[in-house]
Every structure is written in structure tokens, then in C-alpha cells.
A = this chain, B = another copy of it.
Amino acid sequence: MSSKRVSIKDIAKEAGVSTALVSYVINGNEKEKRVGKEIAAKIREIAKKLNYQPNQVAKSLRSGSTKTIGLVIADISNPFFANIARVVEDEARRKGYTVIIGSCDEKAEKAWDLINVLINRQVDGFIIVASEHSEEQIAHLRERNIPFVLLDRHFPELNTDFVATDNFTASFDACKHLIDNGYRKIGLIAYRLDMQHMKERITGYQEAMKENQIALNPQWLVEVEFENLQQEVAYAIDDFLKMEDKPEALIFATYGLAINGLRYINELQLKVPDDFAVVSFGQAEIFELYYCPITYMLQPLEDLGTKAVEVLLAKVKNKETPLTQVLMKARLIEQKSSEMKK
């Protein structure tokens, strides 16, 4: 059995009417358009019999709306993004939209390509977890009047819609928690990134230290490059160990940093929390499963994702929707890795 797709024309022919009537009936406009009762019933019956499925591509061309949103992230194989993707997918589907996910590895060039492909595919809007140096792309979208909302990261100087975690407070809380538990020499491993969310994770830490009268030792703050992550993190920890004023607690500013840091700490046969107490950003089973479960700042992924979809779709429906900027609080999940200093 082959099977050409059934179109509205086939139904029209079989029913002996014009395609207009079929369209009216299929879309439930038969009342408004005054389609005859028997004809309507006949059309519905035939559509069912032939298992008619509307061609979304034709609809999209005609209507100018594809009911599709593009989700631009760094890497779908990273659990943080994968979790976001899942939330966005579910919420979008609930509202009749399909999501196209694209990974750009934090590379501006890949992101450009990706965005262009998606624009050509006429996505109705974008949810973007932005990378460094993507201001230009964002500005481009705005110029072309394509709806988008930034998720998790934003550029304060661009004044766009965004939905993100309050990273300053999260980092402040993480550090404060360690201080409360008796640690005073606290190191922070972050990325060297010219991005607001990372900067806030740094200033939050600094502010918490200051506010608790702890002199900031600049050596305690290490910013590593994205490339060669594993080595960079190892060097950072090596350096900590060599210091006179060696940190007794570490904050990892992302999940990826924590993974690499903990791996190296294991390799050195150091113990958490005795050699280093630990608090991390990000979330994954791993933090529960580590021999010493890791305290972390739980970002409200579910809320972030659904809110982003909501904000975007409002924008899609009405481009004049006023700017929406949402900050959500992270929650401290206390575990053994940061327990009260002995």
C-alpha cells in the first residue's frame, strides 16, 4: 500500500463541494460561516474516513506562523540544558507549540548559523540561553523585530526581556552558608566570562565575605578558561593547596566546574568536607550520589522554563507587550559537603 497524503481537495472532491467548505468545517467555523448541517456532517465523516491530517507546512505558509519556537543553548548533552530543554518542550507542547533545539557550544559563530537556520524556518520566536559575545545577535533579532526572551543569562546593557536566576543572591547565600557553618577561608572557582550571571556569582561571594568582615584574599578567587577545563581546574586546586592561607571551603560556580573539581579532589585523595568543604551551583543526581553529598544552589529550572515560554508566547501574540524581566531565587540544598566545621 503506498499512500499519497490526503489533502483538503480530496475531501472536497469526494464530498462534491468546494475546498472552502471543507476548510470551514475542519476548523470549526461552520456556524459562523453557515455551512449546511448535512454537508458539514458529510465532510466530517469523509475526513475521518480518509484519516485527513492537515498539512502544517501549508498552514504555516498561509498564516505566517509556524507554531514553532527555537531554543538556543550551549549543549543539549549538558544536564543543566537538557533539563531546561525538557521543561520548555513540555510547556510549549501544552500550548500547541513545537520546539527546535540547537546546541552552539557557547560559540558565537555556531549560534549565528543556528539562529539563521531557524529564522529561515520561520520560527515564531526564540528562547536563548546566551553565550559570551552574543550581544550582536541579540541586537540583530531585536532589529528584525523577531520575538525572543533570554533565559538564565542576560545582558543588562541590552535591556531585553529575560527570565533568570538571581545569581547575586544565590552566590551570596552560598557563601553566607559556609560562613555560618564556621568556614572563613573560602575559595571560588568560576569561569573567566564577560557575562552578567558569572559576574554576579563573583560579586555575591565577595559581598558576603565583606559583609562578614572577612578580608578578601584575591588568590581565593580563580577564574578559569572554558577550554581545557579539566586542567585549568586542576591547576587552580593545586594552587590553593600551595597557599599559606589555603581555603578550607570551595564554591564552584557551575556544575561543570564542580564535576572537574571533585574528580581532581578524588584523584588527590582529599576528603570532602574535611580537606575542602564544598558548595556548588547546578544540580544533578551526582550531588546526591557523591560519597559525601554535595550542597548546592538549586536553580528553579521548572519555573524558569515555563516562565520563559509564557513570556515568549505573550510577545509572539503581541509584539508590543511591555518588557518583562524576571529574576527567580535559587534554593540552598544543604548536604554533608558543607556541614558545620569541626
A231 at the interface (CB under 8 A from B): no
A245 to chain B, nearest CB (A): 28
Q: A143-B1, A145-B2 are in contact. Are A57 and B291 (CB under 8 A)?
A: no
Contact between chains at B144 and A117 (CB < 8 Å): no
Contact between chains at B89 and A117 (CB < 8 Å): no
Copy total for this chain: 2
A38 at the interface (CB under 8 A from B): no
Residues of B within 8 A of A323 (CB): none
Contact between chains at B85 and A76 (CB < 8 Å): yes
Residues of B within 8 A of A289 (CB): 259, 262-263, 266, 286, 290
- 0/1 interface trace, chain A 258-291, chain B, CB 8 Å (1 if under): 0100110010000000000000000011101111
Q: A77-B79, A77-B85, A85-B77 are in contact. Are A290 and B288 (CB under 8 A)?
A: no
A128 to chain B, nearest CB (A): 17
Contact between chains at B103 and A89 (CB < 8 Å): yes
Within 8 A of B (CB), among A298-322: none
A325 at the interface (CB under 8 A from B): no
Residues of B within 8 A of A143 (CB): 1, 3
Q: A57-B122, A122-B57 are in contact. Are A3 and B290 (CB under 8 A)?
A: no
Residues of B within 8 A of A263 (CB): 285, 288-289
A–B complex contacts, Cβ < 8 Å, 20 sampled: A2-B145, A3-B145, A56-B121, A57-B66, A57-B122, A58-B61, A75-B86, A76-B89, A77-B79, A77-B82, A77-B85, A82-B82, A85-B101, A89-B101, A98-B118, A99-B100, A100-B100, A259-B285, A266-B289, A266-B291
Given contacts A89-B103, A263-B289, A289-B290, 11 further A-B contacts (CB under 8 A): A2-B145, A3-B144, A55-B120, A55-B122, A57-B57, A57-B60, A75-B86, A77-B79, A78-B82, A98-B117, A99-B101
